[in-house]
């Protein structure tokens, strides 16, 4: 490492953006957990809502992927 401040900033920024992935994990867990809680209450209605579950998970996960993308961009592209 040559000790450049900008270099250090990139790594710090990439590390910080990794927090976003953990937060997205909380979001995905929230969606799946609530779906499971609802499905156990009313199992007959659960089957028709799997599509909604996956859409919800996809939306929650996309934001985590965005933070991963920020990390990648900081590491390799900026």
Partner 1 sequence: MADNAHAAAAEHAAEGTGLVFHPMDQFKVQPLFGHGGEVSFYTPTNAMLWLGLTVLAVFLIMVVGTRGRAIVPSRGQSIGELAYGFVHKMIEDVTGKDALVYFPYIMTLFMFILMNNFLGLIPTSFANTAQIATTAILAFAVFFAVTIIGFVKHGSHFLGLFWVTSAPLAIRPVLAVIEVISYFVRPVSHSIRLAGNITAGHAVMKVFAAFAGLVALSPLAILGITAMYGLEMLVAFIQAYVFTILTCVYLKDALHPSH
Partner 2 sequence: MATESHGAEAVAAGHAAAESAGMPQLAVETFSNQIFWLVVALVATYLILSRVALPRIAAVLAERQGTITNDIAAAEELKLKAKEAEAAYEKALADARSQANQIVEATRAEIKADLDAALAKADAEIAAKAAESEKAIAEIRASAAESAAEVAKDTAKELIAVLGGDVDGRSVAAAVTSRMKG
Tell me whether residue 5 is exposed, middle or buried, using C-beta atoms within 10 angstroms of its C-beta: 0 to 12, 13 to 18, 19 or more: exposed
Give the C-alpha separation, 19 to 64, whole Å: 9
Q: How far is the CB of 73 from partner 1 (least distance, A)?
A: 11
Of the candidate spans 17-25, 33-41, 45-53, 67-75, the one that interacts with partner 2 by CB under 8 A turns out to be: 67-75
Q: Which of 25, 26, 62, 78 binds partner 1 (CB under 8 A)?
A: 62
**Residue 21 in contact with residue 70, Cβ under 8 Å?**
no
Q: Note the residues at the interface with partner 1 (CB under 8 A).
A: 48, 51, 54-55, 57-58, 61-62, 65-66, 68-69, 72, 76
């Amino acid at each position: 490492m040559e000790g450049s401040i900008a270099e250090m900033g990139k790594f710090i920024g990439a590390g910080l953006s990794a927090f976003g992935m953990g937060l997205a994990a909380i979001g995905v867990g929230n969606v799946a957990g609530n779906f499971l809680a609802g499905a156990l209450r009313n199992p007959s209605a659960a089957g028709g809502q799997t599509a909604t579950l996956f859409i919800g998970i996809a939306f929650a996960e996309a934001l985590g992927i965005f933070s991963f993308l920020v990390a990648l961009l900081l590491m390799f592209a900026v």
